[in-house]
């Protein structure tokens, strides 16, 4: 496990200095994680993208809104709902596969990970039994 932070120093609303700090793990593990993520340095790109997507899909987290959660359990449930449903139900443009010139097959993160073979409708995702007795069908790429 590797954990690093990015600290931004601001003056008059502009970032003037960026410091990275290794909090947990070794420099060797950190460099291996950066190579795997196709990055040259520690940055907040994945966290910020995840936060932006979560804020976009969960109206309770939008800035300046009247749709705030008054109950923590509801807030937590909506967070899980948006994060988990987006993995199976929302295709990501950067994950698409070209099947012919200028023709693409849309893929979700679950499809890219090999967990499913199609984009799920929200109804299908909600009605899928989640009691542990049912397993997803095995996906084998062609």
Segment 33-41 mean pLDDT: 64
- Kindly indicate the confidence band of residue 46, based on its pLDDT and cuts at 50, 70 and 90: low
| pTM attached to this predicted model | 0.54
Backbone angles phi, psi at 7, to 5 degrees: -115, 125
Domain residues of the chain, as ranges? 1-43, 44-142
Q: What is the mean pLDDT of the chain?
A: 79
Who's near 96: CB < 8 A, 6+ residues apart?
104, 105, 106, 107
Who's near 136: CB < 8 A, 6+ residues apart?
115, 116
Who's near 114: CB < 8 A, 6+ residues apart?
139, 141
Segment 123-139 mean pLDDT: 71
CB-CB neighbours of 58 under 10 Å: 18
């Amino acid at each position: 496990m590797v954990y690093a932070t990015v600290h931004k120093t601001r003056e008059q609303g502009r970032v003037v200095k960026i410091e990275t700090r290794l909090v947990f793990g070794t420099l060797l593990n950190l460099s291996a994680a950066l190579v795997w993520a196709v990055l040259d340095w520690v940055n907040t790109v994945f966290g910020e993208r995840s936060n932006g997507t979560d804020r976009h899909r969960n109206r309770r987290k939008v800035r300046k809104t009247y749709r705030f959660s008054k109950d923590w359990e509801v807030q937590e449930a909506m967070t899980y709902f948006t994060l988990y449903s987006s993995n199976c139900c929302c295709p990501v443009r950067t994950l698409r596969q070209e099947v012919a010139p200028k023709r693409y097959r849309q893929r979700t993160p679950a499809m890219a990970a090999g967990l499913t073979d199609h984009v799920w409708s929200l109804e299908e995702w909600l009605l899928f039994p989640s009691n542990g007795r049912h397993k997803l069908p095995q996906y084998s790429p062609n």
